[in-house]
Structure 1
């Protein structure tokens, strides 16, 4: 049992606090993601499935975030877009939090970490974020979906 706990701690899944006990660590960018990614994502079909699943989760999170964001969350997004400090990863961290679905947030984080082991980070032009901000401010789910579809289709056609 002790060896198993040491192995889990080495992988960054748990942490042992002297005198307090053993705790599960928050899912983040730890060694297990890279280790599992090397084995799971060896065939091309698995890579395609990962990309598709990630896009579907992102699409769902966008819908929920558009309906559920708070004033504080929208102000945070607006600040990042206006200051041009926004990136794909920061945008979707905002989206997953604003979706107010903790499970989807965690699933996206794991999928994103997996995909980073095999793909370069996705990037969208500034106008994508500006258009999304306007659509979010109006809570226009259809516009958010259309913007997402336009930019992801454009990006996918460039990859082929």
Structure 2
């Protein structure tokens, strides 16, 4: 299993040039769903990064078959030690029982060397599949976490950017 996923953010033109300069990598350029003009370049190769400003995520576990050409979700949670144990058990149960409809793969990650910052990266058929699962299931974020004023979570959604010619 690969040990890391690396991303970087920036201008579409610059990120497209980085992607074009490294055709041996399967770098994927994404556009934020919620913010027009916000782009991310994702490297899932597991190799040493080619990014000048990388954001590293350590892979804790993986399930499913990746499909990097569709919708992806990043859900970040800040968990204390006890919450991490409960969360890890939920993720393991989800991996064992099968991924939700429309989900191709799921990564349990932590922000590089910060185990309290947990990230679930999901590759999906579509945003609607993600929303249906998120709103109809307590498997991922239990109600007691969502209702707590001390609980921090953040979600970000991306779709593949339309390819443009680089010169």
Normalising TM by the smaller chain, what interval? under 0.3
Q: TM-score, normalised by structure 2?
A: 0.24
Greater relative CO (CA pairs within 8 A, separation 6+) = 2
**Bigger Rg, which one:** 1
